[in-house]
Amino acid sequence: MKKSKAGQDYITATGLPVRLLGREGESRVLQSLQTDNRFFVPATYPLKPLKERPSSLELRPAPYKESTRSTLEDRKRPLAPIIDALLLEGGRTMKGLVREVKRRASAACRGKDVGANVRARMYWLRKRRSQVGEGPSRTGIL
């Protein structure tokens, strides 16, 4: 067999289509064209060119796509509109407010102190009301 080159597609002895990604020390780095898994094999592991032997598995059209999970940018939805609506609705305790915000915007709450967000919104709503001239609120929360 000719010397294998990085970036070319091969078939393993078991019939798995793989792409040779490179070499690290005494081993080769292969990537499965079926499952996108990366794994190491010894440098002497037998590989045959993909054209010589038909694959026993169906190939993916574009192997190793980046993850389609929501990124951090997708989770940057503001909590303020949700918190404001709940505060203006009234009739909830602090614990109930935090629970409801987490239920309505669970992805946006990850890594955030929801209780601190609720307290901050309460502070700013109180401050805005006093600037407008409405005076203190009778609901108890605001």
What is the model's pLDDT at position 59?
A: 57
Alpha carbon distance 140, 142 (integer Å): 6
State percent of the chain over pLDDT 90: 18
Residue ranges of the chain that CATH labels 2.30.30 = 9-49
Q: The domain 9-49: what is its CATH number? A: 2.30.30
The band of 70, judged by pLDDT with boundaries at 50, 70 and 90, is: low
Strands (E), the chain: 9-11, 17-24, 27-32, 38-42, 48-49
* 1-31 pLDDT, tens digit each: 467 777 888 888 888 888 888 888 888 888 8
What is the model's pLDDT at position 96?
A: 92
What is the model's pLDDT at position 55?
A: 54
Return the half-sphere exposure (C-beta side, CA atoms, 13 A cut-off) of residue 127. 6
Alpha carbon distance 2, 48 (integer Å): 9
Tell me the pTM: 0.43
